[in-house]
Amino acid sequence: MLTQDQNQTIEAEVVDQDKKQASPNGKHKKEKPILLRVAYVLDTSLGACALLFYLLFCAFYNGTAPSNLSNWAIYWTVIFLPSILTGFIRAIALHSFSRVPVSQIALFAFLFPSLYTGQFHPNWVILLVIPLYYSVFIPIERLIRGRND
């Protein structure tokens, strides 16, 4: 007959060579790549820097754009830049074409010159890149992932 002390199970954390942690039920949890952690830190810190730049630049710069819009109406698009950069980092870390922030890139590439010059007509074609990119690269990524699984 077992005593109370012998009947208790011991739970230990096991880490194998692939840096996967084995939970008590035997399933592995994969460790997040370091680039994802870097992207998270950069996203928050660069986002704050972009917001601070926008506020200070618009408050102290008195130049005018060809569209005669105020700086406040034009330079708010700078806030897109940190998420574009960290989106590229996430796409590289996850080895995924679909994680590239094409929609944010196209939106920035459309809005900034359009607001600055006041000419929206020739620039709207940039927005057509979004569905084209995803309709081409998502099937390619599915083919690649299907062969690797």
**CB neighbour list of residue 81: distance below 8 Å, 6 or more residues apart:** 46, 50, 108
Q: How many CB atoms lie within 10 A of CB 123?
A: 16
Q: Do the beta carbons of residue 94 and residue 30 sit within 8 Å?
A: no
Q: Over range 121-126, report the average pLDDT.
A: 91
For 23, half-sphere exposure in the C-beta direction (CA atoms, 13 angstrom radius) is: 6
pLDDT tier, 148 (very low <50, low <70, confident <90, very high otherwise): low
Over the chain, what is the mean pLDDT? Answer: 83
- Assess whether pLDDT exceeds 80 at residue 100: yes
- Assess whether pLDDT exceeds 90 at residue 83: yes
Entry pTM = 0.73
pLDDT at residue 62, as a whole number: 87
Q: Which of 103, 99, 104 is CA-nearest to residue 137?
A: 99
Write the burial class of residue 7 (CB in 10 Å: 0-12 exposed, 13-18 middle, 19+ buried).
exposed
pLDDT at residue 55, as a whole number: 95
